[in-house]
A = this chain, B = another copy of it.
Amino acid sequence: MQNFSLSPDGKEYNLPTPEDDQKELAIIKEITCQQRSSGRKIVAVQGMGFVGCVMAAVVADAVDPQGNPLYFVHGQQRPSLRSYWKVPVINSGHSPVNSSDPEIPGIFKRTVLEKKTFRATWLNQVYELADIVVVDIQLDATKPAFGDAAKGYCDLSAFRDGIRTLGERIRPDCLILVETTVPPGACEKVIKPIIEAEFEKRGIDTEKFPPLIAHSYERVMPGNNYVRSIRNFWRVYSGIDDRSKTMAREFLSNIIDVENYPLTEVDNTNASELAKVMENSYRAVNIALTLEWAKFAEQIGVNLHQIRKAIRKRQGTHDNMLRPSLGVGGYCLTKDPVLANWSMSAIFDLPGSLDMAISAVNINDTMPAHTLELVHQHFPRLNDIKVTVLGISYLEELGDTRHSPSETLIRLLNENWAIVKAHDPYVEYWPEMENVIIRPDLENAVKDAEVIIFAVGHNEYTNLDPDHLLRMCLYKPLIVDCSNFICNLKIKRYIELGCTVTGVGKGHINYLRTARH
């Protein structure tokens, strides 16, 4: 049986043995003792995922006005085959997440190796030592039926286990700050009862020591401003009682640039939890709206992207309008409406549902089918047609493939027996689609393509010169522009070079084709 954890760069890390556990326990106890005696509070971050590890580094980087670190951070990661490698990687001063943010390497090196205020561990015993635990456990929504998000639910069992671990170990005066996006009601109706039950098992009088639980959600934006999106950005928070609110406020004020991004306190944790899922639902709904208008625009000779630009001039009321595209990816917009809708019945036992938000998820999840339709207009049968998909991440200039709409597109192309090649300058390995080979060089990816789909707006693609691309191609491929990545001048050139061009929301292309130059 495999007893090592494999990091993305191919290194093997042996899982810890019982002897390692013994040694590690002595180390974390000694470090905690030292750090506490130098006046630092001890923070444990639960989960070294996408948010947790950077949040941990930001906390470890916080200093008082004299420049002295305020916190020592234990970053706790379970010693699983899939993720244990993060512990030694972090402790060598490196980031376990791949990011284009230039601040990322520096903040890990600085906090782990220089300030020595951040250390990763696999031991749950760190929770016994902490003044504050920040919960960053991953929590996903399950959508059992594609395009039927109303059936979506949230399996809380692993999350409950993680919280139970805290209840078994934390000191009664330790603040639990939940940062995970949770279904509304989680702090009051899921976390609080678990902690109280564990406290009672341990003989702690919960009248005298009511659990201290707060919620504050991150608004992490992957990309170049990853660290800034945690440290230099607005935060909403609340707590289940006044003391929890106060402790959360003090902690967040120390780590976040509250002078420029003042905190917003809301009445209760339900409100803070609801705010997070509502802000993402707002975006999901706005994206969903673009699809039906894109389909209309395509059929009446209208460039919807041009219209969007015109409408967005109405600053303050219309400038948040989103663009039609291949679809919606990432970790938030695809699941947060589901968390809220599920919470309504499962946590609060309420009738009704969040129909607008759920329709939006359904429309967004199935949106790549529209790009397939555009291909079908030119290739009614896709059997053995060679299709190259340019871009498989879910955002420009980013290698993040979580819930990428390119994944749905490629599945649909495969179902139609097309021969698919994928290319992405930021992705070497696609964990969700292990059997799709990603071509490292563009020439190889497009050489024999009959269809080229511009799926993601990476600069490498938006800067592509039509003549240059066509020189790499054996055929005159159908060019599919999923979200206005190709300007009108280039569209004209592709047409001059003998290609057919189509695109989401780009009904003006026929007009360009017939227009006098």
Contact = CB atoms under 8 A, between A and B. Distances in A.
Interface string A16-51: 000000000000000000000000000000000000
B264 A309 contact: yes
Given A271-B303, A306-B267, A320-B318, A354 B285 contact: no
Nearest to A311: B279
A282 B321 contact: yes
Contacts of A316: 319-320
Contacts of A288: 356
Interface stretch (A290-298, A389-397, A420-428): A290-298
A355 interface: yes
Given A234-B313, A282-B311, A307-B271, A292 B219 contact: no
Contacts of A356: 285, 288-289, 292, 359-360, 363
Contact of A354 (B281, B292, B320, B355): B292
Query: What size tier do the contact residues of chain A reach?
Result: 35 or more
A464 interface: no
Interface in A475-489: none
Given A267-B508, A300-B274, A313-B264, A359 B359 contact: yes
A282 B289 contact: yes
Interface string A238-264: 000000000000000000000000001
Contacts of A157: none
A309 B272 CA distance: 12
A350 B317 contact: no
Question: Most chain-B Cβ atoms within 10 A of its Cβ — which of A219, A266, A289, A319?
Answer: A289
A293 B354 contact: yes
A350 B282 contact: no
A460 to B, nearest CB: 25
A309 B363 CA distance: 28
Contact of A296 (B309, B321, B340): B340
A352 B307 contact: no
Contact of A278 (B184, B271, B282, B307): B307
A511 B270 CA distance: 12
Contacts of A311: 236, 275, 278-279, 282
A314 interface: yes
Nearest to A292: B354
Contact of A292 (B302, B319, B355): B355
Interface in A353-370: 353-357, 359-360, 363
A385 to B, nearest CB: 26
A442 interface: no
A289 B359 CA distance: 11
Question: Helix, strand, loop or mixed for chain A's interface?
Answer: helix
Contacts of A271: 297, 301-303, 306-307, 508
A374 to B, nearest CB: 15
A285 B289 contact: yes
A190 interface: no
Contacts of A340: 296
A509 to B, nearest CB: 11
Contacts of A319: 316, 320
A302 B268 contact: yes
Interface string A220-244: 0000000000000010100000000
Contacts of A289: 281-282, 285, 356-357
A283 interface: yes
A268 B301 contact: yes
A185 interface: yes
A469 interface: no
Contacts of A267: 301-303, 306, 508, 511
B352 A292 contact: yes
Contact of A274 (B282, B302, B363): B302
Interface in A298-345: 299-304, 306-307, 309-311, 313-314, 316-321, 340, 344
A286 interface: yes
Of the candidates A271, A295, A508, the one having the most CB atoms from chain B within 10 angstroms of its own CB is: A271
A150 to B, nearest CB: 13
Given A264-B310, A271-B301, A316-B320, 16 more contacts: A184-B296, A184-B300, A236-B310, A267-B301, A267-B303, A268-B301, A271-B297, A271-B303, A274-B300, A275-B310, A282-B321, A283-B318, A292-B354, A292-B355, A299-B348, A355-B359
Nearest 8 interchain pairs by C-beta: A320-B320, A264-B310, A234-B313, A279-B311, A275-B307, A271-B302, A236-B310, A289-B356
16 contacts: A184-B296, A234-B313, A266-B303, A266-B310, A267-B508, A267-B511, A268-B508, A282-B321, A286-B286, A292-B354, A293-B354, A293-B357, A296-B352, A320-B320, A355-B359, A356-B360
